[in-house]
Structure 1
Amino acid sequence: MPALPARDRADACPGALRLHAADDGALARVRLPGGLLTARQAVALADAADELGDGHLDITSRGNVQLRGLPDGCGAALGARLRKAGLLPSDRHDRIRNIVASPLCGLDAGGAEADVQEWARALDALLCAQDAPNNLPNAGDLSELSGRFLFGLDDGRGDIAALRPDVTLIASAGGGAYEGAALLCFGTEGPALRIAADDAPRAAAVAALAFLAAARESGTGAWRVRDLDPERRPRPDRLADRLASAGIGCELVPDASLPFGSPAPPGLVHGRDGLWALSAAAPLGRLTTAQWRLLAEAAEQDGDGELRVTPWRGVVVPGLSAEAAAARLAALAEAGLVTSAESPWHRAGACAGRPGCVKSLADVRADASACLTGARPGGPGGLPVYWSGCERRCGHPGGRWVDVLATGEGYRVAVRDGASDETDDEAAGTVSAAELADAVAAARTTT
């Protein structure tokens, strides 16, 4: 894919402190590295949404949480709440804490043995360091990363690699001097570097510093690896030298084959040691605080006290007994959450649309809901679908997906490929509201 034109401004991604002014009030994005939070932290977010916002929480395509409808000037009050809950460990590094990790790691028989959630915690600690992390080459400050740069930690099942992060770590069986190893690469293309699993978080931080150096040399103001011209992107062989300077051993894997898997479907997850997890998705990525509190309650009363927010706008609650998991999943379904892959709402999302966004050409959430209500089950093999109110397509999924784009006169429905940004928009005609449900259903089954 060719590089994007040079950036002439810093990225404007919102954070917990830098709020975005939307038509329905201010918007805050709270980073949850690896999607990890405790039940107590989840309740703190619900309280903030109820007392400061509009009583809802949005889950983003990177497993973060957004609060909307916030009043002007509430940044200080929100920041104080988040610091107290342990959700804002560094004001300076808030927006760069974009880490996604395989949410079912350690919960089922899939993936390797490496604990990518622990990698996420360690990497977050490195990102939040005030200066360049200890024992890393002093070649820049990680706070210079854009709010869009993404770290992906995959336990080997390929669910995170399919999101095409900027720096990707994939747990593997390893070999030779690197038993219990990880593969490290830029984006999701080889060659890769094999490193010891214990070195994975520091190696990812070194790779991010290498990107920053390449971005400065390019003079393009690149936010992400794919923004750089292919010849200017950081090379694994040069990264190996940086790793060596940091005391991290590695070996080149020229023909590395990276896995690309599917996200875990909603439902019950048969865990290890006789325990279960439950997985539920937010309809169109949005939850009421009452729905969110049900998830926190399940984690606190029946689980291990932890929740894992997923990049597919869902939540996994681990550590339940079989009986408790089944009962809790039924309660979540009754409360309106998506609990089955057969639901047409499975892997369906939408941007804010009207009236929250001034740029939107339609009330996409209402139109998406009308389209999905009563629709035939999509089945686990269907493509994800995303409604966008304008051509910015904020929050759209990665990989291959059905793009439902508002035009002002209806919608254009096309299949897009996140790997190449190619689409057949030109060939796709505008469909009316009456035709939309059939057009979306047909596109989701495209092979």
Structure 2
Amino acid sequence: MLAAMSTTPAPPPDRAAATAGTPSAGPVRERGDACPGALRLHAADDGTLARIRLPGGVLTSRQASLLAGLAETLGDGHLDLTSRGNVQLRGLPADCGGLLAERLRLRGLLPSDRHDRIRNVAASPLCGLDGFSPDSASGSERAPADVQAWARELDGLLCADDGAEALTDLSGRFLFGLDDGRGDIVALRPDVTLIASGAGRAGLCFGTTGPGLRVAAADAPRAAVLAAAEFLAVREASGSTAWRVRELAPGARPTAARLAERLTEAGIASTPLPGLRLPLGEPPVPGVVTGPDGTSALSVTAPLGRLTAAQWRLAVRMATKEGEQTIRVTPWRGLVLPGFPAEEAPRLLADLADSGFVTSAESAWHRAGACAGRPGCAKSLADVRADAAACLASGQAAGATALPVYWSGCERRCGHPGGGPWVDVLATGDGYRVTVRDESGGRQGAGPRTVTTAGLAGAVAAARTTT
């Protein structure tokens, strides 16, 4: 899983030298990011929007039931799943903030007002459900790393952090990624990445490239918090207001050597991984997930990332009556429901399919997403959800090998996929521009193709089958 070309420690660089050159250190912004939260609500054209952060994506059945109730009584009756594994409620009254926060607190969904927006923690959603572990890849029988336990501990540390280097200065876009070794979370390009490496160890790095550090799995959540603190310290020293690690210039980014010193000061042992190479894995595939203990999980995705309250309640009822009474929201706008009897799983999956969930990788709706578009967003140039739905209903470009596709109403491309390649369908005001983009956001293959709505399905199908 993790590989190192050498184990010779690199000498720690001088902090001032590493961050010299303020003009190239990274962006300088006059204001912080506008990411919404459970307390900082966003005024959209279709009402107020709240983002409920779910570290690790895990909800109990009672918490999930509360969100359905809030969507029905306060919102527009829908729940949007985000690319961080969080849930958004739209169409809320402008004056509902106090009531919303009170109800979320009662179910443990708002453990800290001060730290709400920094609780961005994505974790491998199939961890412990399909028998995968970093050791099993090499034939060992050790138990898989429990990244959900990491997520719970990390969230507790984030919410309790009120020291001199409090992490409340982190942007609402800063992402902690907890990967069980399969590389699915690595592909999201987190700012601080923890990846299980087997035998009770974890790799730790800024972003997804080396050099990195190896730490004991038991120390991994604390090490991630210290890595975020080091990012803030380096950012301050450089004079930047960067929201994410990759926004800093290469010479002004936090280093593994300096982080190792910080870990040592906190009593955490680490060893260098200067040639760290992380795997790039795939998201969960819709369908039945067979577990090693005789039980099965159900993996489904939300059409264009949006569910009705009725669809959500169906999943909650299944989890409550026949599963483990938990739901895992994935960063790919899906749900994983664990703990079903293997013989019942196909029937339950069929029920979810009948209610409109995406349950097969052969569906054209698999790995397809869209921003809010009109009428919810004033900046959107089109009703991208309606146009995307009409396009996908044609059934073209179906199949497990079709590229991910995302419709955006404007150049901001809110919520577009991480990694690559993916098909970028951008509204122009008089049609759409269809482009295949790589991981860096650049074009891949032929240049963009501009089409009218009438020709959109064919253009998207051709782009999704690009090799």
Provide TM-score, normalisation by structure 1: 0.95
The aligned counterpart of 1:160 is 185
The code of the aligned residue for 1:388 comes to: S
- Structure 1 residue 442: Cα displacement: 1.5
Aligned position for 1:149? 174
| Matched AA of 2:150 | W
Q: Is the 8 A contact 2:26 2:241 kept in 1?
A: no
Name the SS for the 1:171 alignment partner: strand
Question: Quick one: which amino acid aligns to residue 71 of structure 1?
Answer: P
Separation of aligned partners in 1, 2:278 and 2:29: 30
**1:99-248 aligned within 5 A:** 99-112=121-134, 113-132=144-163, 138=164, 140-173=165-198, 179-248=199-268
Q: Does residue 330 of the first structure (1) align with residue 350 of the second (2)?
A: yes
In structure 2, the gaps of 5 or more residues are 1-23, 135-143
| Match of residue 34 from structure 2 | 12
Task: Identify which of 108, 117, 122 aligns with 1:95.
Answer: 117
- Mapped partners of 1:3, 1:351: distance in 2: 31
Matched, 1:354 2:354: no
Pairing 1:342-421 to 2, within 5 Å after superposition: 342-376=362-396, 378-400=398-420, 401-418=422-439, 420-421=440-441
SS in 2 for 1:423: coil
Once the two structures are superposed, what CA deviation does each residue of 1:323-379 show, in whole Å capped at 9, x if it has no partner?
322221111100001000000000100000000000000000000000000313522
2:187–2:280 Cα contact (<8 Å) kept: yes
Q: Measured at CA, do residues 372 and 4 of structure 1 come closer, stay the same or move farther in structure 2, by a change above 3 Å? A: farther
Partner of 1:68: 90
Q: Residue type matched to 2:367 in 1? A: R
What SS does the corresponding residue of 2:160 show, helix, strand or coil? coil
- Write the distance in 2 (CA, Å) between the matches of 1:333 and 1:240: 49
Contact 2:397 2:461 in 1 (8 A): no
What stretches of structure 1 of length at least 5 have no aligned partner? 133-137, 174-178
Q: Which residue identity does 1:430 align to in structure 2?
A: T
Give yes or no for contact 1:342–1:377 (8 Å, CA) kept in 2.
no
**1:254 positional shift:** 1.1
User: Per-residue deviation at 1:41?
Assistant: 0.4
Shift of 1:424: 6.2
Give the aligned residue type for 2:69.
Answer: D
Which has the larger displacement, 296-305 or 433-442?
Answer: 433-442
1:49 and 1:289 in contact (8 A); partners too: yes
Partner of 2:80: 58
CA contact (8 A) 1:164 1:398 kept: yes
Please tell me whether the aligned partners of residues 280 and 338 of structure 1 are also in contact (alpha carbons under 8 angstroms).
yes
* Contact residue 409 and residue 430 of structure 1 kept, 8 A: no
Following the alignment from structure 1 to structure 2, what is the Cα–Cα distance between the partners of residues 219 and 8? 12
In structure 2, how many angstroms separate the alpha carbons of the residues matched to 1:83 and 1:417? 41
SS of residue matched to 1:442: helix
Cα deviation code 1:379-405 (max 9, x no counterpart)? 222221100000000011101111100
Amino acid at match of 2:173: R
- CA–CA distance in 2 between the matches of 1:216 and 1:15? 24
**Equivalent-residue separation in structure 2 for 1:212 and 1:426 (angstroms):** 40
Moved more, 236-245 or 437-446: 437-446
Task: Give the match for residue 135 of structure 1.
Answer: none
3-state SS, counterpart of residue 195 of structure 1: strand
- Partners of 1:407 and 1:311 in 2: CA distance: 27
Paired with 1:45 and 1:332, the residues of 2 have a C-alpha distance of 19
**Structure 1 residue 307: deviation in Å?**
0.7
Specify the alignment match of 2:19 in structure 1: none
Aligned residues: 434
Please report how far the alpha carbon of residue 443 of structure 1 lies from its aligned counterpart in structure 2 after TM superposition.
1.3
User: In 1, distance between residues paired with 2:64 and 2:438?
Assistant: 34
Q: Structure 1 residue aligned with 2:44, among 8, 14, 22?
A: 22
Matched to 2:394, the amino acid is G
CA shift, 1:319, in A, is: 0.4
Structure 1 residues 135-185: Cα deviation after superposition (integer angstroms, max 9, x where no partner): xxx5x1011111000000000000000010000011012xxxxx4100000
Cross-structure match for 1:176: none
Amino acid at match of 2:272: L
Asked if 1:309 is matched to 2:322, the reply is no
Contact 1:353 1:388 in 2 (8 A): yes
Question: Does the C-alpha gap of structure 1 residues 279 and 78 become closer, same or farther in structure 2, counting only changes over 3 Å?
Answer: same
Q: How many angstroms apart in 1 are the aligned matches of 2:345 and 2:25?
A: 47
Per-residue CA distance 1:238-279 (angstroms, 9 max, x = gap): 100001011110000111110001101110000121000001
- Whole-Å separation in 2 of the counterparts to 1:110 and 1:27: 37
Distance (whole Å) between structure 2 residues aligned to residue 214 and residue 142 of structure 1: 13
